[in-house]
């Protein structure tokens, strides 16, 4: 391999910091500062590599910022034998972080729509949930973002989104009520206009559960 090719290969494989975005080194330094502020010693053996691990984990936790929801839903299958009834994917697990305290909240999302021009791959709906979950969030905002993205991309007759989640900011700190669930919903189109469709959605979501 020539020196030119080697140099190019090295540049392509090395992450490039975006303008205005702190570098990896700055992020790790911030973690060390927080460790000291918490009362520990970031130089002790067990914490020496923690800043690197935290920076790497943050890239995974907040990978949704690099996702474009419109691209996730850009492929629609029009040949579905005229299917125009409800499509529901329920119990989609997700993990997110509260934008107020940066602690986790997690649970399941239930997503449904009535197709018009075609259907989208079922796995894409799970990816859409993750795209918004893997950001600093509020559950209410995340619920509406998922619904809006589906309306914009699919132009369905209606969308229904329900999220059930436990928030660690309620379980670990503050009021400390472990196990408390928060439920949010967003309805558009036929789901918003017809209460019977909301009942149908909720019945299908709860169907088969004890």
Give yes or no: 101 in active site.
Answer: yes
Quickly state the pLDDT bin for 14 (edges 50, 70, 90): very low
Strand arrangement of the beta sheet that strand 158-167 belongs to: 136-137, 87-98, 104-114, 158-167, 181-189
Give yes or no: 110 in active site.
Answer: no
Q: Active-site residue among 28, 97, 98, 198?
A: 98
pLDDT at 117: 84
Q: What is the pLDDT of residues 131-156, one digit of tens each?
A: 999 999 999 999 999 999 999 999 99
What is the mean predicted confidence (pLDDT) over 22-27?
A: 94
DSSP string spanning 84-136? -S-EEEEEEEEEEEETTT--EEEEEEEEEEE-SS-EE-HHHHHHHHHHHHSSE
Give all domains of the chain, ordered by start, each with its CATH number: 21-61 (1.10.286.10), 69-206 (3.30.1130.10)
The pTM of the full predicted model, rounded to 2 decimals, is 0.85
CA-CA distance, 26 to 64, in Å (whole number)? Answer: 21
The DSSP output letter for 65 is G
Average pLDDT, the chain: 89
Q: Active-site residue among 97, 145, 167, 186?
A: 167
pLDDT score of 165 more than 70: yes
pLDDT at 3: 52
Give yes or no: 155 in active site.
Answer: no
Q: What is the pLDDT of residues 60-119, one digit of tens each?
A: 999 999 999 999 999 988 877 678 899 999 999 999 999 999 999 999 999 999 999 889
pLDDT score of 197 more than 70: yes
Give yes or no: 98 in active site.
Answer: yes
Q: Active-site residue among 139, 145, 186, 198?
A: 139
Q: What is the pLDDT of residues 171-196, one digit of tens each?
A: 777 777 788 899 999 999 999 999 99
pLDDT at 1: 46
pLDDT at 20: 83
């Amino acid at each position: 391999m020539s020196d030119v090719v080697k140099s190019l290969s090295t540049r392509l494989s090395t992450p490039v910091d975006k303008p205005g975005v702190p570098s990896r080194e700055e992020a790790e330094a911030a973690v060390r500062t927080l460790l000291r502020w918490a009362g520990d010693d970031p130089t002790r053996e067990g914490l020496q590599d923690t800043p690197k691990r935290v920076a790497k984990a943050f890239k995974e936790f907040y990978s949704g910022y690099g996702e474009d929801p419109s691209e996730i839903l850009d492929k629609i299958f029009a040949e579905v034998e005229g299917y125009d009834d409800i499509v529901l994917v329920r119990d989609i697990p997700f993990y997110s972080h509260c934008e107020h305290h940066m602690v986790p909240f997690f649970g399941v999302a239930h997503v449904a729509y009535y197709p018009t021009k075609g259907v989208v791959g079922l796995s894409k709906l799970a990816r859409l949930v993750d795209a918004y979950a893997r950001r600093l969030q509020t559950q209410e905002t995340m619920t509406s973002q998922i619904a809006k993205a589906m309306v914009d991309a699919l132009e369905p007759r209606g969308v229904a989104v329900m999220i059930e989640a436990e928030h660690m900011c309620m379980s670990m700190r503050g009021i400390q009520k472990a196990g408390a669930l928060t439920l949010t919903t967003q309805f558009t189109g036929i789901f918003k206009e017809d209460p019977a469709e909301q009942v149908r959605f909720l019945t299908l979501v709860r169907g088969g559960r004890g």
